Amino acid sequence: GAVVSQHPSWVICKSGTSVKIECRSLDFQATTMFWYRQFPKQSLMLMATSNEGSKATYEQGVEKDKFLINHASLTLSTLTVTSAHPEDSSFYICSASWWRHYNEQFFGPGTRLTVL
């Protein structure tokens, strides 16, 4: 149980284009989803927290207009990187938790974004 999927697993795009990454909880209803960014050989950096049906809460230093997060249902959250640039290239990972065990997080497999 507690399986989280992400799509796509990797994406290459041109500078200036937008990219959407999907995060799905497959066997439970995720009351909260989290988006992380991870640079090579570094730890996970929390970008934002989203609850179903409400606006995402962004961490300090994360541009809201750059990284659009939508949590439309209890099983789906999306991260859209708008007008991507090479410095946005990174490994993006989502996680999900549910109300009963609110501080347990289950992670997706990650999405490798490369912006040319």
Q: Choose which of 43, 65, 86, 87 interacts with other proteins (CB under 8 A).
A: 43
- Shortest spacing between CB 35 and other proteins, in angstroms: 12
Pick the closer one to other proteins by CB: 13 or 110.
Answer: 110
CA distance 63 to 21: 17
As given in the structure block, the two tokens for residue 20 are 């959407």
Q: Both tokens of residue 79?
A: 């991260």
Q: Which stretch binds other proteins (CB under 8 A): 12-20, 63-71, 73-81, 100-108?
A: 100-108
Strands (E) located in 1-116? 4-7, 10-13, 19-25, 32-38, 44-51, 57-58, 67-73, 76-81, 90-97, 106-107, 111-115
Site mask for other proteins (CB under 8 A), range 55-94, x = bound: --------------------------------------x-
Stretch that binds other proteins, among 13-21, 61-69, 76-84, 106-114 (CB under 8 A): 106-114
